Amino acid sequence: MGLGQELFEWLSPILKEFGEAYPGFLPGEFFPSYFLYEYFHRPLIASIIVAIVAGFLGTFLLIRNLALIGDGLAHVSFGAIAIGLIFGGIGPLLYALVFCTVAAVLIDELQARGILEGDAAIAIFMTGMLGLGLVIMRIWGGTASGIVDGYLYGDLLLVDPKSFDIIVTICVIGYLSMLFLYHSLLSISIDPIAAKVQGLPVRAIRLYFSIITAAIVVSMVQIVGVLLVTALIVAPAATAQLIGKSFRSCVILSQIIGVITVIIGLYFSAEYDTGSGSMIALVSASIFALILIIKTMKNIIVKPN
């Protein structure tokens, strides 16, 4: 039994019991289905877990000026998913995991060796793999084209037991890794030269962080889609930076904002029959805009004449 299945068997009865005991807390006509029916429990649990891990990851990516790497690796995953759907074998998500890991390591190496700037390397891999995916689907796609749309824009119904187990395993390992390496990652992100002087294995930690980033991005693809991964990685972390007083508070706030974003997004996507990814992205941007407006107005009001 995998980690995902164990988590599902623990949380599923709790979700169902909550839905039946407190229907007043679950507004709408269709949203309560996420709690009442076992079929929707995996997508709901996966969405919340991904939001928590993405919030943690996003804070580190922002201070390292790597906000676009999530988007770039998501596009890399599209090409890998297309290969997996057409040629079969180990499954689309595992193809994506392999390709994204290789891409993340190469991007980090190109940047570390001064061969290419980070953004340039990301752009090359992003456009190349996206183009590969589109060409493959155009030539051999056939009936798989409809499934690809789910990966592009996010489709919670794609989260089957096997995918759920992969997502949960990746997220748990990724979260625990970032927690364990928290102080080292922070030191390297702020001042890599000073971190190296202190004796930290900067290169090894950067490499491992790149692998973690790739894996977490792959885990997000089925929830928000290839085109909208940034909505859960960057937006909650950026929103947290507007109101957080320290890096630690930003890490915590980013995770909370991510979970709120997912729940509100799932509510509206269920009630208005829209894609989960697009609605989560819209809610994420709206929360950022709202906090930005409130903070700007507050600064104007309290600013002395």
Q: What is the mean pLDDT of each run of 10 residues along the chain (305 residues)?
A: 83 84 71 80 90 94 86 88 77 86 88 77 87 82 67 77 88 94 90 87 90 90 81 92 92 95 89 85 94 88 65
Predicted pLDDT of residue 82 = 85
Predicted pLDDT of residue 118 = 64
- Please report, to the nearest 10 degrees, the dihedral formed by the alpha carbons of residues 237, 243, 249, 254 taken in order: -30
d(CA 20, CA 90): 38
Which pair of tokens denotes residue 82? 């297309």
Predicted pLDDT of residue 247 = 92
Range of the domain at 292: 3-302
Predicted pLDDT of residue 1 = 63
CATH number of the domain that residue 205 is part of = 1.10.3470.10
User: How many structural domains compose the chain?
Assistant: 1
Predicted pLDDT of residue 135 = 87
Q: 257 with 59: CB under 8 angstroms?
A: no
Predicted pLDDT of residue 255 = 96
Predicted pLDDT of residue 95 = 87
User: Alpha-carbon Rg of the chain, whole angstroms?
Assistant: 20
